Amino acid sequence: STFNTLFVAGPSPLSLHPQLLLRLLSALSSTAAYFPSALHLLRLVSSRLPLPAPLVLASHNLLIEAAARSGHLAVSLSLFHRLRSLHVSPDAHTYRMLTQSLCRRGQVRTATTLLDEMLHRGIPADPLAYTTVLNALCRKKQLREAYRLLCLMRGRGVSPDIVHYNTVIVGMCREGRPLDACKVIGDMTDSGCIPNAASYAAVVNGLCVSGLFAKAETYLEDMVGKGIVPHFSVFHSVIKGCCTVGKVEEAARMMSRMLDLGMPPHVETWSSVISSICNDEDYVEVILLQMLKGRGRCSKTISRSTL
């Protein structure tokens, strides 16, 4: 009421400083009990005072964020539509807050529509908003929509980064579609975005789970050839897969490659493959020589049990 008397409805209203309004709205919206008062104050001020567009946007964004944080999605959307009714364009921050809130509530299709609208309006892309929507699409197993969004970004001059690509790659591999993930790796390479260790690890593990060990080995070799040192679990997946299908020689070669890179195979790797390898008498000597080359606890432990 004091604010209303001094700045809005008094006989001689004072000039309103933007920061004063924003601080008051922030204080009111930080407590659930006073949030309705913050909404009332914003409606009162914006309807009676000629506020500049930047202040209208900042004040609405503040309450959109507070409402989204409290789980009041309907209020956030209402403020968003009211902002446009005042002929003030939302910015990237507005869209990011709404897309995050929508995805948390499972309304991914609406969030995607908002991103499309943002692109149509020529608003600079917000990487985090795209990451949020891509994550939500992959969690809901809408992988075709996730890939479509990646293509849409490229088609409208928005360059997906490594996080965007990896989000889709991991989602595809998790749902048993590693060949589609391979296509995404090809797309990202063509667009100038270089796959990293996480990209390759997801694809190699996904291919191994699907039984495509030869293709997994190709990606592992490509990874090492580019100077990217794989995590031991990536080697483990390929070695174990090779042994599963009886490719003992390939498994032995992968172990040698690990040692060449200064990565003694983990205990679990030896434990999971040694019995399969030693069933082939042609390769027992090879494996024992590799054990002698190895360093540390794992080679000693396994060699004792094998002997």
Q: What is the pLDDT of residues 157-194, one digit of tens each?
A: 678 999 999 999 999 999 999 999 999 999 999 988 99
Asked whether 45 and 8 are in contact (CB, 8 A), the reply is yes
**Mean pLDDT along residues 229-251:** 77
The residue that leads in pLDDT, 283 or 210, is 210
Write down the pLDDT at residue 296: 46
Model confidence band, residue 297 (pLDDT cutoffs 50, 70, 90): very low
Comparing C-alpha atoms, which of 18, 105, 104 is closest to residue 62? 18
Q: How far apart are the first and last CA of the chain?
A: 87
CA atoms within 13 A on the CB side of 107: 14
Model confidence band, residue 119 (pLDDT cutoffs 50, 70, 90): confident
Please calculate the CA angle 207-211-213 and round it to the nearest 5 degrees: 65
**Mean pLDDT along residues 228-235:** 81
pTM of the shown model: 0.75
């002997």: which residue's tokens? 307
Asked whether 164 and 131 are in contact (CB, 8 A), the reply is yes
**Mean pLDDT along residues 270-278:** 63
Q: How far apart are CA 235 and CA 147, in angstroms?
A: 28
Tell me what the pLDDT averaged over the chain comes to: 81
